[in-house]
Amino acid sequence: MTSQPRDTPQFYLTAPSPCPYLPGKEERKVFTHLVGKRAVELNEILTQGGFRRSQTIAYRPACETCRACVSVRIPVGEFEPSRNMRRVQKANADLVGTVVPNRPSSDQYGLFRRYLDARHGDGGMVDMTVLDYAMMVEDSHVETRIVEYRRRGPDTAINGRGRGDLIAVCLSDVLADGLSMVYSFYDPTMADRSLGTFMILDHIEKARAMRLPYLYLGYWVDGSRKMAYKSRFLPQERLMGQGWARVEE
């Protein structure tokens, strides 16, 4: 059983381990627990300070010789999609994202497994069981939801829901100043749709509709091809030593 946290959160440092983004580098993380009555407040403060949430843990890189991981957020009121992004929106105009409670389903896990096996077969998440997936989705003490993407149906204009096979999923947190995309995955046979980009664009629109100023994307890693796509969403803000700094190109 998880005990109630102290009034002052306790922070811990992980041992060095191989960096998943930059070959030959080691990573360390500083982390704390997000449980109890102060979980929401603490998560808000830490997210604005560059932390990310994973279940009931908030963490951020604390590498001794590397500062390549940089927190990124999009000021949604100023964002305008590029020509290529508009093509992505058009290609996925037949999809609709439905917000559902953060509860796991067999459809979600089946898609999650296909995505991992096809895109991240050598990654640290590849051995996740259905129980592990359920914990990733449900184990949260903050406002968390799932967006399920399916094709539009004849009743979508009325009920706002899609129908048919599950095509993509995003686990997101709702913060006081924005949405935070915790983890997303999609049908690996539909790579030509650029579904990762589409889900970001859709979350920008969802944040606008909720009158939230930011969409938090996690870490952009300078020198990592895996994370290069995040730099295309401009303007954006990156958390530097002196605070959030605007980047326009």
Would you state the pLDDT for residue 123? 62
**When comparing pLDDT for 106 and 2, which is higher?**
106
Are residues 65 and 133 both part of a single domain? no
pLDDT for position 6: 53
* Range 64-73 average pLDDT: 93
Structural domain boundaries, residue 35: 12-69
- Determine the Cα–Cα distance for residues 166 and 181; give it in Å rounded to an integer: 18
Residue 2's identity, in one-letter code, is T
Residues 109 and 207 in one domain: yes
Q: Three-state secondary structure along the chain?
A: CCCCCCCCCCCEECCCEECCCCCCCEECEEEEECCCCCHHHHHHHHHHCCCEEECCEEEEECCCCCCCEEEEEEECCCCCCCHHHHHHHHHCCCEEEEEEECCCCHHHHHHHHHHHHHHCCCCCCCCCCHHHHHHHHHCCCCCEEEEEEEEECCCHHHHCCEEEEEEEEEEEEEECCEEEEEEEEECHHHHHHCHHHHHHHHHHHHHHHCCCCEEEEEEEECCCHHHHHHHHCCCEEEEECCEEEEECC
Residues 145 and 53 in one domain: no
Residue 62 belongs to a domain: yes
Residue 25 lies in a domain: yes
Q: What is the CATH number of the domain that holds 177?
A: 3.40.630
In this structure, the answer to whether residues 136 and 91 fall within a common structural domain is yes
Site of tokens 């295309």? 232
pLDDT-derived band at 241, boundaries 50, 70, 90:
confident
Domain identity same for 132 and 181: yes
Query: Domain for residue 248, yes or no?
Result: no
Same domain for 19 and 116?
no
Its sign, for the CA torsion 38, 144, 127, 21, is negative
Average the pLDDT over 72-101 and give the result: 96
Q: Tokens 């579904």 — which residue?
A: 195
90 and 65 part of one domain: no
Q: At 124, is the pLDDT very low, low, confident or very high (cuts 50, 70, 90)?
A: low
Is residue 99 in some structural domain? yes
Q: What confidence tier does 1 reach under pLDDT thresholds 50, 70, 90?
A: very low
**Residue 199 CB neighbours (<10 A):** 23
What pLDDT is stored for residue 158 in this prediction? 67
Q: Tell me the pTM.
A: 0.91
The reply to whether 110 falls in a domain is yes
CA dist., res. 215 & res. 237, Å (int) = 10
Average predicted confidence (pLDDT) for the chain? 92
pLDDT for residue 121: 58
The structure tokens listed for 66 are: 């590397």
> Average pLDDT, stretch 20-24?
90
* 102 located within any domain: yes
Residues 189 and 169 in one domain: yes
Count of domains observed in the chain: 2
Residue 249 pLDDT grade (very low, low, confident, very high; cuts 50, 70, 90) = confident
Stretch among 73-82, 85-94, 148-157, 183-192 having the lowest mean pLDDT: 148-157
Residue 146 lies in a domain: yes
Q: Are residues 178 and 89 located together in one domain of the fold? A: yes
Same domain (yes/no): 178, 137: yes
Question: CA-CA distance, 88 to 199, in Å (whole number)?
Answer: 10
Whether residue 63 is contained in a domain is answered as: yes
Q: Are residues 64 and 130 in the same domain?
A: no
**Same domain (yes/no): 21, 141:** no
Q: What is the pLDDT of residues 98-119, one digit of tens each?
A: 999 999 999 999 999 999 988 7
pLDDT score of 156: 76
At 152 the pLDDT is 87
